[in-house]
Structure 1
């Protein structure tokens, strides 16, 4: 597959990057060269001022109290470990028998310190089982713990009509008894539940081919290939694209699946600061000038790994400038659109659609079906040569079970709705409603004085809580008000970056959002969570249609 510079992705026959070193050393690499290049081609570019404002830092006293909170928790943790060691307190964590301790330890005592003493105290906020479709409202199984969250028991009570503010049900397709789902039922009856084979053997069905052809048309690319698991789409296919002698430049906040895939590839990995184009350009320039360590040969390939929307930050990739850098330095670009496909752009085609860019500007386009499409699995898309290469070399194609036929039909159903092939404008209406809900919810949170991350268009909305004690209290109080939220803390975030993460959906009504906002506002006052120093005055009319124009 040829990139912008004419190289072949699959064979690795790139132009010698070191040929550019003379020009780079002579000062031709202007700091803002990629910005000017993007503007010259008429492409929109990311507003760095907006990005800075969307990542407001916490006041100093909040950070001090957060670290004090962890410090006090650590002291009490050591005290409790002392009591457990001497048998004065029951030890619930798994331990080794005495005769095993002389060998390699099975349980790392120090590494599990946080889990024993802090995580277990707030564990009731995770993995709560629901017993209905995860739509705008769901039913939640009530559970309690008699041993400080080490084990749980079901009370037999179901909490009805909990407002769902945490699922990645962006377009609201996670519903039951929908007439358009009859086709999924028909495929289930005709094909069964599973395939019981890999794509490379007996596991490729006509439904898979139909899905891939429709997906390629939706993404405006030459070809696409689908896989049964989104995580494995990254973890098992990055190693098929790069290997020893190649360089991966990875955003520091990339998902664990990208991180694992990069490590498994055997390529050299260097991370750049999140969405920081100056840092990325410096790494690209150094890679071309100095080549591989010790031998200083030119890299076989340089692959940039980024995401469309970052699931913990809610930020959108600075794609126009990354594409400009990629073209300037003859690198390759791999974009993970797990959270952006279906959720961004005037037609829901993701971050490329959002910025109005040529689909050919990205070499490898990846996405999942577990968010906007409310199914499972993932895809890779791009030029036909790339997809043909992956069919023969992808670990997922060779060893993993194929996508379930009813799941494939669910994705086909959603794609047809988004593309208007069902004869309705339902897909466009859902995309517009999601954009409207997103902007409304973000605007209200800012006006209340909360610190949130990400631009106004991102449907993933992190609300910074910081203190671990407040994380637990916030989630529990919200559930008492019949609002389900996702709270995230260390180690999924930085130590001082605990947060609640809201995900907008086209199925959220104005009444649902206002109910959630009222509860958030009340708890913000109760728990002193309104840390923002950029609070705006509340406007009397917050849902002005002109405020929700789609980014074109």
Structure 2
């Protein structure tokens, strides 16, 4: 995996930048307090005697004084399908991000921010026709939970196909990916159980862990030494105060980490879980369909047996171009969740339209259609990821993550450059995502590029040319390492060697040769 320490001078300048922002933020808060500066927002009334202010955290201060000023870098409304090239609604603000006005014009941009990994979020194709037929037959919504009258035959078909795809005994689907984590973890662990969670796990995993009532301990990101140390300590000391053995120990990790672009070290996780009799909860939201020679996630990527992972979780919002989430595993686990999961008992079912979209795209990925479209998309995404990373490395940017990950974080560091990078790229026809504190460490603000099978070589070259130009303009080429690949042809060769063993026919590689 690619990881480069923050240069000392850049770290110092980043801290100075935040210090200046904090000073000006406090000065503006002082002016607002005495009504010397207008505040165009709903304000908390002055608290009564004996009460404390409702909002007093640093995040509130940060949001009020920085996030609002650069809000035009986020929440950009699109007005087309999130394909390789998409359209944004042009808007502007005259009050530093408090309100926006729309010009009525559309901006055509290269899309490097959507999770459309396999390119299925497109408006045409056989799977779109099948989804349209499902709308005419079932309507747009189910309007009930699975345990009432919210199950349709498409749900059963989807769960049967999904179990085959994941190579597990049984699966259960849900209407929302976030709720799949936050509402199912409490159904699996409770008070007296221990959760060992990677420090970079998604907010849905963090929320689900907190709601469960279990004790949560954090281990360093992808650090197997730290994880084993905490497992050994948990077995030796047991529960606090009583020192009784833990009822259950659950290790929670992600397949591909959405902010780091790193891939979980699954074989070592499985080995530790077996050694210390712990369970594994694997979140494959960003890895299912997106990594592995067959597009079946990190178990496919590492060549591990899915049956060595106790709880297989994932979402349909990325690679499948739909909505919802799933959990797969043993039949006893799924039967338990059907009765105990709040997202199954109380939440509305996945629309039949989405279920049909997932069935159709999953059949394509599994090559059940016989046209090699699925393997071609998986191979193209893998090639795009390696090519894009190699070019950025060669340009001198600091890039995080695994070389095979479709998530590519580019480090920007300074808060002012986060805003400038987003705006300069957009003005040149490149739409991407920029991320800062509190979603990242305070000095590791970044741009996050998401590769897709919908991108072709010329589109990526155009995007890279824009990034190169903006990188020179903002002076963000901080890397001091030599690029790992010396030429594009070497990148092509490494890709072909890795994937030629797994592609169904030689026709799949024609695009790359």
Q: Do they fold alike, i.e. is TM over 0.5?
A: yes
CA distance in 2 between counterparts of 1:538 and 1:523 reads 23
Aligned partner of 2:164 in structure 1 is: 217
Is 2:349 the counterpart of 1:402? yes
Aligned partner of 1:488 in structure 2 is: 435
Q: Structure 1-normalised TM-score?
A: 0.88
Q: Which structure 2 segments of 5+ residues have no match?
A: 503-513
Aligned partner of 2:21 in structure 1 is: 73
Aligned partner of 2:385 in structure 1 is: 438
Aligned partner of 2:92 in structure 1 is: 144
Aligned-residue offset at 1:114: 1.0
2:152 is matched with which residue: 189, 202, 205? 205
Aligned partner of 1:338 in structure 2 is: 285
Verify the 8 A CA contact 1:166 1:485 in the aligned structure 2. yes
Is 2:220 the counterpart of 1:300? no
Is 2:83 the counterpart of 1:135? yes
Verify the 8 A CA contact 1:440 1:542 in the aligned structure 2. no
Aligned-residue offset at 1:497: 0.9
1:123 is matched with which residue: 71, 75, 78? 71
Verify the 8 A CA contact 1:448 1:535 in the aligned structure 2. no
Q: Structure 2-normalised TM-score?
A: 0.95
SS state at 2:211 partner: helix
Aligned partner of 2:235 in structure 1 is: 288
Aligned partner of 1:176 in structure 2 is: 123
CA distance in 2 between counterparts of 1:55 and 1:459 reads 16
Aligned partner of 2:335 in structure 1 is: 388
RMSD, aligned α-carbons: 1.5
SS state at 1:112 partner: helix
Q: Give the paired residue count.
A: 499
Go from structure 1 to structure 2 and tell me whether the alpha carbon gap of 1:111 and 1:512 turns closer, same or farther (over 3 Å shift): closer
SS state at 1:381 partner: strand
Aligned-residue offset at 1:151: 1.0
CA distance in 1 between counterparts of 2:124 and 2:297 reads 28
Q: How does 1:25-36 map to 2 (within 5 A)?
A: none
Aligned partner of 2:177 in structure 1 is: 230
Aligned partner of 1:3 in structure 2 is: none
Aligned-residue offset at 1:138: 0.5
| 1:234-289 Cα shifts (integer Å, max 9, x gaps) | 00000000111110000000000000110011111101000000000001001111
Q: How does 1:87-486 map to 2 (within 5 A)?
A: 87-98=35-46, 103=51, 105-108=53-56, 111-160=59-108, 162-486=109-433
SS state at 1:121 partner: helix
Verify the 8 A CA contact 2:390 2:483 in the aligned structure 1. no
CA distance in 2 between counterparts of 1:95 and 1:101 reads 18
CA distance in 1 between counterparts of 2:295 and 2:101 reads 42
CA distance in 1 between counterparts of 2:461 and 2:215 reads 48
Go from structure 1 to structure 2 and tell me whether the alpha carbon gap of 1:537 and 1:283 turns closer, same or farther (over 3 Å shift): closer
Aligned-residue offset at 1:80: 1.5
